[in-house]
Amino acid sequence: MGEYVVVYTDGCCCGNGRRRARAGIGVYWGPGHPLNVGMRLPGRQTNQRAEIHAACKAIAQARAQNITKLALYTDSMFTINGITSWVQGWKENGWRTSTGKAVTNKEDFMELDRLVQGVDVRWVLRAEKPGNSGAARPACQEQLKLLVLETRLLCLWKS
């Protein structure tokens, strides 16, 4: 990715859509990186919110480190489509969908939209990462899985 700093994000939700759902996020910058994080999602507990918040956390961390070019890898096509295709239309339509319904996760997408201002983010679907067969990709995915697993365990422990 050249001069772009690479970060991996993921969100998870145990019991998604249920009353006692527990969600968490993972952000992975690299082996042993001090900004790596696995944490419980605040607020409403859903998988989609966790995916959006993982991206928000990574971009907020990048901004705090004065990183202006970020390659953000996620497995959430919903988050990618939301920020790259749908947000502009929602804003122009008073945060309503094309069918006139209120946008679900409006506040989350508003925060993500605010955070990307001034940061050149390349949104990459994780399955499309160059060098899929290389050793680095599985290592990154395994570390991210560990962060998400740690977050899930934390969610269960604090429930």
- At 17 the pLDDT is 83
Among 17-21, 22-26, 113-117, 129-133, where is mean pLDDT lowest? 129-133
Q: How many domains is the chain partitioned into structurally?
A: 1
- At 56 the pLDDT is 98
Q: Counting Cβ atoms within 10 Å, is residue 130 exposed (0-12), middle (13-18) or buried (19+)?
A: exposed
Q: What is the pLDDT of residues 34-85, one digit of tens each?
A: 999 888 899 999 999 999 999 999 999 999 999 999 999 999 999 999 999 9
Strand partners, 120: 69
The DSSP secondary structure of 8-49, one letter per residue, reads EEEEEEETTTSTT-EEEEEEE-STT-TT-EEEEPPSS--HHH
Residue in this structure with the two tokens 């429930």, named with its chain if needed: 159
- Please give the residue range of the domain that contains residue 94: 5-157
